[in-house]
Structure 1
């Protein structure tokens, strides 16, 4: 593994970790950083590049598990005391997360090949960045004055399913899974923090499932030569996702969604200037 290989893996892992769960589109950032600066597609076969993307996503997923470990332990009944809800009060249930996963799970199974074949392009990412930004502004503008659920423990099954429908928008490259689900949650009456918490918790099983399927398809790319490249990307994605998630959960309560929408418009303009 050359120094440049190490540098590429490190930078892509950092970009993944910083942007995967912020509502700014990790895909858009990967396009800019990789295509303009790193040119990883020229360094590695397509199968290795695809597997690498999955590996660094797994690093980000592990960061979510660490941040929300008490929540996951509660949902699986592995803790006697809940750190997320008052004693005797409502508590987020595993069944509610499953309900939220149903829409995207169905759409993913039915249209995965179509999405991979036809929707991954610069133009589709630009559309996703702009339309997703508009949705975020709409969510902040038309959200209920008083949230119906100020914590993730008060999310209802109806709200969970509605957020799951919004999550389907995140399958469009550039739209951002977190951007669509947080916006949907806010429109459905969750506070920004509750919508963010539910978004991150729901991301673990759906991203894990997609990652396992992808790893199975590209398992032959895990060679001894590629493993150090994967390891560097995984570790850097994990560390920076851990930092990013903790910072974002504090920030979203103060600045809401509009600043992230404006950032998306700037990113879209930059990509358009570079490629068109």
Structure 2
């Protein structure tokens, strides 16, 4: 892969990591539909995830400070526990789903349906509690499946459970910090052969993904707070239907 394709992947990661359209789903689509597409080196993939993790840390730096108390840390612990309970047993199944364009399209369709119903939920005023934190964590665990948007499912669940939009977004993204960091650390430990990559192919894509991530993180917060979710719902459903159509005619089988 050439340098500009690495930049393209950086922009794709920075945008779709936060938009409710599933970054892993889009990567899986590229892998399955574009036969010449090769999965990026693991170290490059980890670099992009680190970049978007930094986007969250910078964007929510003031809110993160307010989470440095017993109750908030307990909420994050319980939520992360819920994520682990679901994600670890499903990890291998999720890996297999990456090679199934049908599975990806099904999860994208489900994401679209969730967003559609979330767009009509009235603004809540419920305070975050342990039960809500645990349930949101559980749903975050299911986002190991490509096509099932992490932000889309967790924030939507927060809205369904009566959390104010701003609180649902805030908790969802802060809860993703230990999940993203932990998942990528484990992936790094499990990788035996990490190829050398030029600093040019890491530093510039890192900065690109970081900056794009900041922009789209702000945009995602805005669309959830204003409930402008239907365009993303329609997008996910259309993409999934197009894939279903392609599979039906056997073009990509």
With the shorter chain as reference, the TM-score category is 0.7 to 0.9
Superposed, 1:224-235 pairs within 5 Å as 225-235=197-207
TM-score by length of 2: 0.86
Matched residue of 1:201: which SS?
helix
Contact 1:133 1:264 in 2 (8 A): yes
- Can you give the 5+ residue segments of structure 1 that lack an aligned partner in the other structure? 78-90
Give the aligned length.
248
Q: Distance in 2 between matches of 1:229 and 1:272?
A: 35
Of 51, 57, 61, the match for 1:65? 57
Q: Distance in 1 between matches of 2:53 and 2:184?
A: 10
Aligned partner of 1:95 in structure 2 is 74
Of 161, 182, 205, the match for 1:188? 161
RMSD after superposition: 2.5
Aligned partner of 1:201 in structure 2 is 174
Task: Decide whether aligned partners of structure 1 residues 213 and 59 sit closer, same or farther in structure 2, where only a CA change above 3 A counts.
Answer: same
Superposed, 1:1-276 pairs within 5 Å as 5-32=2-29, 39-41=36-38, 49-76=41-68, 93-118=72-97, 120-141=99-120, 143=121, 145-149=122-126, 154-218=127-191, 220-223=193-196, 225-272=197-244, 275=252
Contact 1:99 1:157 in 2 (8 A): yes
Matched residue of 2:12: which SS?
helix
Contact 1:40 1:49 in 2 (8 A): no
Aligned partner of 1:82 in structure 2 is none
How far off its partner does 1:32 sit? 4.6
Matched residue of 1:189: which SS?
coil
- Can you give the 5+ residue segments of structure 2 that lack an aligned partner in the other structure? 247-251
Matched residue of 2:143: which SS?
helix
Q: Distance in 2 between matches of 1:173 and 1:34?
A: 12
Task: Decide whether aligned partners of structure 1 residues 95 and 76 sit closer, same or farther in structure 2, where only a CA change above 3 A counts.
Answer: same
Deviates more, 1:265-274 or 1:165-174: 265-274
TM-score by length of 1: 0.80
Contact 2:28 2:99 in 1 (8 A): no
How far off its partner does 1:127 sit? 0.4
Q: Distance in 2 between matches of 1:137 and 1:263?
A: 11
Deviations along 1:24-48, one digit per CA (max 9) or x if unpaired, are: 111232245566679441xxxx6x5
Deviations along 1:202-260, one digit per CA (max 9) or x if unpaired, are: 1111011001111122263241x444323333222111001110122123222343222
